[in-house]
A and B are shown apart, each in its own frame.
Chain A
Amino acid sequence: MTAIAIRDELARWPASLKIGATFFLLIVVTGLFAPWLTPYDPYTQDLAGFLQPPSWRHPFGTDHVGRDVLTRVLHGIRIDLQIGFITTYVPMTYGLLLGALSGYLGGWFDTLMMRLLDVAVAFPFLVLIIVIIAILGPGVHTIYIAVFLLAWTMYARLARAEMLVERGKDYVLAARTLGYPTSRVVFRHAMPNVINSSIVFSMADFVLNILLVSSLSFLGLGVPPPLPEWGAMVAEGRDFIFDAWWISTLPGLAIVVTGASLSLIGDGLAHRLGQRQRSFL
């Protein structure tokens, strides 16, 4: 894209998209430069200086083993954005493929996919994650696998519903009458019109996945210590919520801010992609 094309594109962005994208970019940049932004290390403990309230030295205070909370929140950006990204876009990729194929092909494939989807939706997530942790051991990769097994369903549903509509449209019929192979019709012609709602949903999904890790941490099923992951920090700080509110609240705030920026992006994208205003938060 030329500079002018970029400028024109930016000019078409609704305000929510601009604000959201700016915030998100800021968060990403902060995460990239986290090691240079504070003088502390996210892992180094200072047991003598534990549970210090926010001050100039420690703007977010220190946690229950004396680590600087701000430093951990900033380093957490890397981890949480990575978690959010992988848990959202990997399942989205094959969820879309399966859903689109299912909607396009119909027949036994569709029936099979829908029953598979029902099983995945109806299966209790907690059992699954405990099982996977037990087999593979705890860690981020375990959460990934558990999410991979289940999170595709929403995308498959969305893609399938959209594909059912697109399938009947003239341009798809035209492509079929021209004798294009199915894969080309599905992926080259119909797909671009199918993915919009998924892209918008993925913004909310991103936040939901970070929150999921937080809930898992509450149950002790999240990422292992001492990783500065926001959800784990929120959960670890909860025993101190009345005497050291900052340990748990400020990482929570980071989730809120990230969520807000993604939500704005989602809203703006819904607008920009000209889809029927289907936003999910």
Chain B
Amino acid sequence: MAIIEYILGRILQMVPVLIGVSLVAFLSIHLVPGDPVQIMMHGRATEEVLATVRGELGLDRPLPIQYLRFVGGAMVGDLGKSIIQKAPVDEIIGERLGPSLFLLVYSAVLAVVIALPLAVVAALKAEGPIDHGIRIVGIIGFAMPPFWVGLLLMVLFGLVLRWFPISGYGRTFIEHLWHLFLPSLTIAAFLAPILVQSLRSAMLDVMTADYIEVARAKGLSRRRIVLKHVLRNAAIPVITVLAVNIGWLLGGAVVVEYVFAFPGLGSLLVRAVGHRDYPVIQGLSLVFAVIVMVINLLADLSYMAIDRRVLRR
């Protein structure tokens, strides 16, 4: 089927990008001064010990060889072992991938749940006082530093009201939802205003379309027009905005991860860079790249699901 061919084509296109990303990641991280072994041993070990450990890790080999070994491993799914933690990189990343994706999806869902009604109201009452009110609240949510929002939510819901825990991840799905509510809300406070604005303007755009007038002439209710005819058409630019931001938040949510002591990919990356844990950095770069591209692919697929015309392009 055409759609499967399309997906396969897109996956093939990922290969050169992954090679590019891995090469840039590898080169850049090796360009940085700092030696993982020296850092791991905190300057305590003798030169002799340092050299032995470097040798064991293969860090004494020429860079091209190291890169080829990494690529060779990556091709068969072996991302190597963390220098610091001595555990397989895929395992280390895997442990955090789930929570990170959970956090992101949860945040995105919360953001959409918050943004959808606000955007609809803002669009229907465009340029009215309610619209401006929503805009101002949105700008505040968007421009407030995330750690500030996070701490505020922690004080309010964690300390004063005691409704939600201020850290942790939980074990079951329901516990995840409960534990991650505040961090997700923090991200959503940033994301929702962006969605409100893009959905609002997309809706205003769609509402000038001829088929909306036709729908009104058919005697459809406002509600039905918005839900059935406007929102679906307005969704495409919003999905683009969402996709771009989720891709960025994957590593960019590190501030929220810190504030809520959340074991996510962002803080893993920061720590791995701090320790010069080369295999973890390289692995993460690949994983980030794959996720970003998969998100873009999913966004494109959802365009197609929404609007059949896209299929023809």
A adjacent to B, CB under 8 Å: yes
Residues on A close to B: CB < 8 A? 15, 115-116, 118-119, 121-128, 130-131, 134-135, 154, 204, 207, 211, 214-215, 218-219, 231, 234-235, 238, 241, 248-249, 252, 255-256, 258-260, 263, 267, 270, 276-281
Min C-beta distance of A168 to chain B, whole Å = 13
Q: Which residue of B lies closest to A221 (CB)?
A: B270
CB distance from A187 to the nearest CB of B (A): 26
Q: How far is the CB of A263 from chain B (nearest CB, A)?
A: 5
Pull 27 A–B residue pairs with CB atoms less than 8 Å apart, ordered by A: A15-B127, A119-B20, A119-B21, A121-B247, A121-B292, A122-B292, A123-B288, A125-B252, A126-B273, A127-B273, A130-B32, A134-B33, A211-B145, A214-B145, A218-B255, A218-B258, A231-B145, A258-B143, A260-B140, A263-B197, A270-B201, A276-B205, A277-B204, A278-B205, A279-B197, A280-B198, A281-B194
Query: If A119-B24, A122-B288 touch, does A277 touch B201 (CB 8 Å cutoff)?
Result: yes
Chain A nearest Cβ from B213, distance in angstroms: 17
Q: Is B11 an interface residue (CB 8 A)?
A: no
Pick from B138, B145, B147: contact of A281, CB under 8 Å: B138
* Interface pair A256/B139, CB less than 8 Å apart: yes
Report whether A207 and B252 are in contact in the complex, using a CB–CB cutoff of 8 Å: no
The reply to whether the CB of B136 lies closer than 8 angstroms to some CB of chain A is yes
Per CB-CB distance, the 3 closest pairs between chain A and chain B, nearest first, are A122-B289, A259-B143, A134-B32
Q: A119-B24, A281-B142 are in contact. Are A127 and B269 (CB under 8 A)?
A: yes
**Nearest A residue to B18 by beta-carbon distance?**
A122
Which of B16, B138, B254, B289 contacts A123 (CB under 8 A)?
Answer: B289
Residue from the set A241, A252, A255, A281 with the largest chain B CB neighbour count within 10 Å: A281
Chain A, residue nearest B207 (CB): A277
* Of the residues A211, A241, A281, contact of B197 by C-beta under 8 Å: A281
Chain A CB within 8 A of B29 CB: yes
B82 at the interface (CB under 8 A from A): no
> Which residues of B are found within 8 Å of A134, using beta-carbon distances?
31-34
Interface string of B235-262 (1 = CB under 8 A from A): 0010001001001100110110010000
Q: Does B148 have its Cβ within 8 Å of any Cβ on chain A?
A: yes
B contact residues vs A (CB 8 Å cutoff): 13, 16-17, 20-21, 24-25, 28-29, 31-34, 127, 135-136, 138-140, 142-148, 151, 193-194, 197-198, 200-202, 204-205, 237, 241, 244, 247-248, 251-252, 254-255, 258, 266, 269-270, 273, 281, 284-285, 288-289, 292-293
Known pairs A122-B292, A131-B28, A135-B31; A219 contacts B270 (CB<8 A): yes
Q: Is B201 within 8 A of A279, CB to CB?
A: yes
Which residues in B have their C-beta under 8 angstroms from that of A259?
A: 139, 142-143
The smallest C-beta distance from A156 to any residue of chain B, in angstroms, reads 13
- Nearest CB in chain A: distance from B128 CB, A: 12
- When the two chains form their complex, are residues A126 and B138 in contact, meaning their CB atoms are under 8 A apart? no
A-B pairs under 8 A by CB, number? 145
B254 touches A219 (CB 8 A): yes
Bound CA span A128–B29, Å: 8
Among A15, A126, A211, A248, contact of B143 (Cβ-Cβ < 8 Å): A211
> Contact at A118–B197, with CB atoms within 8 Å?
no
A255, B289: Cβ atoms under 8 Å?
Answer: no
User: Which of B127, B136, B198, B201 has the most CB atoms of chain A within a 10 A radius of its CB?
Assistant: B201
* Closest A residue to B34 using CB positions: A134
Contact of B136 among A231, A260, A277 (CB under 8 A): A260
B269 touches A234 (CB 8 A): no
Across-interface contacts of B237 in A (CB, < 8 A): 278
Q: Would you give the shortest CB distance from B298 to chain A, in whole angstroms?
A: 15
- Smallest distance from the beta carbon of B264 to chain A beta carbons, Å? 13
Q: Within 8 Å CB of A127, what residues of B?
A: 25, 28-29, 269, 273, 281, 285
* B136 CB contacts on chain A under 8 angstroms: 260
Across-interface contacts of A215 in B (CB, < 8 A)? 145-146, 252, 254-255
